[in-house]
Structure 1
Amino acid sequence: MSLLPSVGQPVSRLEGQLKVTGRAQYAADYSIPGLVYGYVINSTVTKGKIQRIDTTKAMSLPGVIQIFSHVKRPSLAWFNLQYADMDAPPGSPFRPLQDNKIIYNGQPIGLVVAETFELARYAATLVEVEYEQEAFDTDLNANLSNARTPKIGMATMLKPPPPRPKGNFEKAFSESLVQVSAEYYHGTEHHNPLELFATTTVYEGAGKVTIYDKTQGTVNSQLYVANIFGLKYKNVRVIAPYVGGAFGSGLRPQYQLFLSVMAALELKRPVLVTLDRSQMFTFGHRPPTIQRTRFGADANGRVTAMNHAAIGETSRFEDYTEVVVNWSHMLYPADNTLMQYKLVELDVFSPLDMRAPGGVTGMHAIESTMDELSYQLKIDPLQLRLINYAEKDESLNRPYSSKELRACYVQGAARFGWEHRNPEPRSMRRGNKLVGYGMATGIWEANTLPARAEAIMTTDGKLHVNSAVTDIGTGTLTVMAQIAADELGLPIQDVTFSYGDSKKPFAPVQGGSFTVSTVGSAIKTAGKALRKKLLRIAGKVGDGVFKKLELDDVLFENGRIALKNDPLTSISFVDIVAANDGNPVKVIKFSVPNVLKLKKYSRAAHSAAFVEVEVDEELGVINVTRAVTAVAAGTIINPKTARSQILGGMVWGISKALREETISDHHFGKYMNQNLGEYHIPVHADIHDLDVIFVEEKDDIVNALGAKGVGEIGLIGMPPAISNAICHATGKRINHLPIHFDNLL
Structure 2
Amino acid sequence: MTLSPTRPGAIGTPVARVEGPLKVTGTARYAVEYPVENVVYAWIVQSPVARGTLTAIDAPESGDVLTTLWHGNAPKLSEADDPELQVLQSPTISYRGQVVALVVARTLEAARGAAQSVELSIEEEEHDVLLTPDHPRLYTPEKVNPAFPSDTSSGDVEAALADAAATVDVTYETPALHNNPMEPHATTALWVDDDLVLYDSNQGPSAIASQVAKVFGLKKDQVHVVAEHVGGGFGSKGSARPNAILAAMAARVVGHPVRLALPRQALFTMVGHRTPTIQRVRLGATADGVFTAIAHDVVEHTSQLFEFAEQTAVVTRHMYAAPNRRTSHRLARLDVPTPRWMRAPGEAPGMVALECAVDELAASLGLDPIELRIRNEPDAEPEDGTPFSSRHYVECLRLGAARFGWDTRPLRPRQRREGRWWVGTGVAGATYPSMVMPSTATVRIDASRNVLVEVAAVDIGTGSRTVLHQVAADVLGVPLENVTVRIGDSSLPRASIAGGSSGSASWGWAVDGACRKLREEMSRLTGPVPADGLSASFDTGPDVRSRENSGKHAFGAHFAEVRVDADTGEVRVSRLFGQYAVGRVLNPRTARSQFIGGMTMGLGMALHEESVLDVTTGDWVNHDLAEYHVPAHADVEWIDAAWLDEEDSSVNPLGVKGIGEIGIVGSPAAIVNAIWHATGVRVRDLPVRLDKLLTDPAF
Question: Which TM-score bucket, shorter chain as reference?
Answer: over 0.9
- The aligned counterpart of 2:453 is 465
CA offsets per residue over residues 559-596 of structure 1, 9 Å max, x none? xxxxxxxxxxxxxxxx1x22xxx222111221126468
Find the counterpart in structure 1 of residue 31 from structure 2: 27
Which one-letter code corresponds to 1:34 in the other structure? N
Among 97, 100, 113, the residue aligned to 1:109: 100
Aligned match for 2:149, one of 145, 150, 161: 161
Matched-pair contact (CA < 8 Å) for 2:65–2:106: yes
Q: Say yes or no: does 1:599 pair with 2:548.
A: yes
Once the two structures are TM-superposed, the CA of residue 348 in structure 1 deviates from its matched residue by: 1.1
Q: Secondary structure at the match of 2:280?
A: strand
Partner of 1:559: none
- 1:218 deviation in Å? 0.5
Residue 324 of structure 2 is aligned with which of 316, 321, 336?
A: 336
Q: Is the 8 A contact 2:436 2:544 kept in 1?
A: no
- Asked whether the equivalents of residues 576 and 639 of structure 2 are also in contact (C-alpha less than 8 Å), the reply is yes
Is 2:182 the counterpart of 1:181? no
| Partner Cα separation in structure 2 for residue 173 and residue 593 of structure 1 | 45
**Within 5 Å, which residues of 2 pair with 1:616-695?**
616-695=565-644
Q: Could you list the per-position Cα deviations for residues 173-219 of structure 1 after superposition, in whole angstroms to 9, with x for gaps in the alignment?
A: 10000010000111111111110111001222x21122100100111
* Deviation at residue 159 of structure 1 after TM alignment: 3.9
| 2:199 counterpart SS class | strand
CA pair 47-600 structure 1, distance change in 2 beyond 3 A: closer
SS at match of 2:152: coil
Residue pairs, 1:41-56, within 5 angstroms: 41-55=45-59
Task: Name which of 354, 357, 368 aligns with 2:345.
Answer: 357
Residue equivalent to 2:229: 242
Q: 3-state SS of the aligned residue for 1:735?
A: coil
Q: Distance between the aligned counterparts of 1:151 and 1:692, measured in 2?
A: 38
Deviation, structure 1 residue 601: 4.6
Letter in 1 for 2:15: V
Equivalent position SS for 1:530? helix
Verify the 8 A CA contact 2:275 2:310 in the aligned structure 1: no
Q: Partners in 1 of 2:437 and 2:288 — Cα distance? A: 42
Match in the other structure for 2:115: 124
Question: Identity of counterpart residues, as a percentage?
Answer: 38
| Residue 459 of structure 1: how far off its partner (Å) | 2.9
In the aligned structure 2, how far is the partner of 1:641 from the partner of 1:293?
Answer: 36
- What TM-score, normalized to structure 2? 0.96
Distance 1:65 1:431 in 2: 65
CA gap of 1:197–1:366, structure 2 versus 1, over 3 A, is same
Cα distance, 1:116 vs structure 2: 1.1
Q: In structure 1, what is the equivalent of residue 246 of structure 2? A: 259
8 Å CA contact retained: 1:159, 1:321: no
- Contact 1:159/1:323, CA 8 A, preserved across alignment: no
SS at match of 1:679: coil
| Match of residue 66 from structure 1 | 67
Aligned to 1:366: 354
Aligned: 1:301 with 2:289: yes
Contact 2:434 2:651 (8 Å CA) reproduced: yes
Verify the 8 A CA contact 2:76 2:89 in the aligned structure 1: no
What are the Cα deviations for residues 721-743 of structure 1, in whole angstroms up to 9, with x where unaligned?
Answer: 00100011111111101111101
Q: CA deviation at 1:238?
A: 0.3
Aligned partner of 1:476 among 449, 464, 472: 464
Q: 1:224 aligns with which of 196, 211, 221?
A: 211
Paired with 2:595 and 2:301, the residues of 1 have a C-alpha distance of 28
Distance in 1 of aligned mates of 2:38 and 2:442: 35
Identify the residue that residue 196 of structure 1 maps to in structure 2.
Answer: 184
The residue type paired with residue 149 of structure 1 is T
CA shift in 2, pair 1:105/1:596, >3 Å = closer
Is contact 2:133-2:278 (8 Å) kept? no
Cα drift, residue 234 of structure 1: 1.6
Equivalent pair of 2:85/2:245 in contact (CA under 8 Å): no
1:513-565 CA-to-partner distances (Å, cap 9, x unmatched) read 011111111111111111111122x1x44xxxxxxxxxxxxxxxxxxxxxxxx
- Equivalent residues of 2:172, 2:279 under 8 A apart: yes
Q: Partner letter of residue 256 of structure 2?
A: R
Aligned partners of 1:613 and 1:729 also within 8 Å: yes
For residues 102 and 678 of structure 1, what CA distance do their matches in structure 2 show?
A: 26
Q: Give the Cα–Cα distance (whole angstroms) in 1 for the partners of residues 407 and 316 of structure 2.
A: 26
Contact 2:85 2:215 in 1 (8 A): no
Q: Which range moved further: 6-15 or 25-34?
A: 25-34
Equivalences, count: 689
1:38 matched to 2:25:
no
1:69 and 1:145 map into 2 onto residues whose CA distance is 34
1:509 to 1:597, Cα distance in 2 relative to 1, 3 A: closer
Change (3 A) 1:396 1:701: same
- 1:439 partner amino acid: V
Match in the other structure for 1:286: 274
Q: Secondary structure at the match of 1:399?
A: coil
What is the alpha-carbon distance in structure 1 between the residues aligned to residue 546 and residue 90 of structure 2?
A: 48
Does 2:493 match 1:485?
no
2:697 matched residue in structure 1: none
The answer to whether structure 1 residue 442 and structure 2 residue 443 are counterparts is: no
- Give the letter for the 2:88 counterpart: L
Which amino acid is 1:173 matched to? L
Unaligned residue ranges in structure 1 (runs of 5+): 85-91, 542-574
- Partner Cα distance (1:597, 1:255) in 2: 35
- 1:622 positional shift: 0.5
Matched position secondary structure for 1:203: strand
**2: CA distance, partners of 1:100 / 1:468:** 37
3-state SS in 2 of match to 1:314: strand
Please give the residue correspondences for 1:407-446 in structure 2 after superposition, counting only pairs within 5 Å: 407-446=395-434
The SS at the match of 1:392 is coil
> Separation in 1 of the partners of 2:103 and 2:235?
28
* Partner residue, 1:320: 308
For residue 142 of structure 1, report the CA deviation from its aligned partner: 6.9
The 5 A counterparts of 1:9-24 are 9-24=13-28
**1:510-549 mapped onto 2 (5 Å cutoff):** 510-536=498-524, 538=525, 540-541=526-527
Corresponding residue number in structure 2 for 1:210: 197
Q: 1:272 & 1:732 partners in 2: Cα distance?
A: 51
Instruction: Give, as a single letter, the amino acid of the residue that structure 1 aligns with 2:43.
Output: Y
Instruction: Report SS of the residue matched to 2:578.
Output: strand
* Matching residue of 1:731: 680
Contact 1:143 1:344 survives alignment (8 Å): no
Whole-angstrom CA distance in 1 between matches of 2:84 and 2:188: 23
| Contact preservation (8 Å) 1:201, 1:260 | yes
Deviates more, 1:255-264 or 1:133-142: 133-142
| Larger gyration radius, structure 1 or structure 2 | 1
Give RMSD over aligned pairs. Answer: 1.5
Cα distance change, pair 656–401 in 1 and its aligned pair in 2 (3 A): same
Q: Is the contact made by 2:190 and 2:198 (CA closer than 8 Å) also made in structure 1?
A: yes
Deviation of 1:599 (Å): 2.3
Determine the C-alpha separation between the residues in 1 that align with 2:546 and 2:536: 26
Following the alignment from structure 1 to structure 2, what is the Cα–Cα distance between the partners of residues 680 and 164? 36
Q: Assess, with a 3 A threshold, how the Cα gap between structure 1 residues 447 and 600 changes in structure 2: closer, same or farther.
A: closer
Moved over 6 A (4+): none
Cα deviation 1:335-361 (Å, max 9, x = unaligned) = 110111111111111101100001011
